[in-house]
Amino acid sequence: MQILQVERNLVCTSRIKGLKHARLRVLRDEKGKRLVATDPVGAEPGNWVFVTSGSAARYTAGDFEILTDLAVCGIIDHWPDKE
């Protein structure tokens, strides 16, 4: 798992069938590297989140048929190092 910050929503009007209607978020790490993840929990820009990758991400998405390898698991409510 990794801790990343939600940078913004990602809107894709055309997508493969395997993504269904999953919400997509652009995330970035502390060094500025950007990643895209599915978001079943509803994180907003600015939120710090923890994510899972690989086959665990497909379970996290809530539907094993959603083709993802990175998914938001939860929104961090309190993180003393980031305050």
- The predicted pLDDT at position 82 comes to 62
- The predicted pLDDT at position 17 comes to 86
Query: Look-up: residue for tokens 């710090």?
Result: 48
The structural domains of the chain, with segments of one domain joined by +, span: 2-82
- Nearest by Cα to 5 from 83, 20, 66, 33: 33
* pLDDT single digits (tens) 11-52: 988 888 888 888 999 999 989 999 999 999 999 999 999 999
The CATH code of domain 2-82 reads 2.40.50.220
- The predicted pLDDT at position 9 comes to 95
pTM for the structure as a whole: 0.85
Q: Where are the alpha helices (DSSP H) in the chain?
A: 55-60
CB-CB contact of 72 with 37 (8 Å): yes
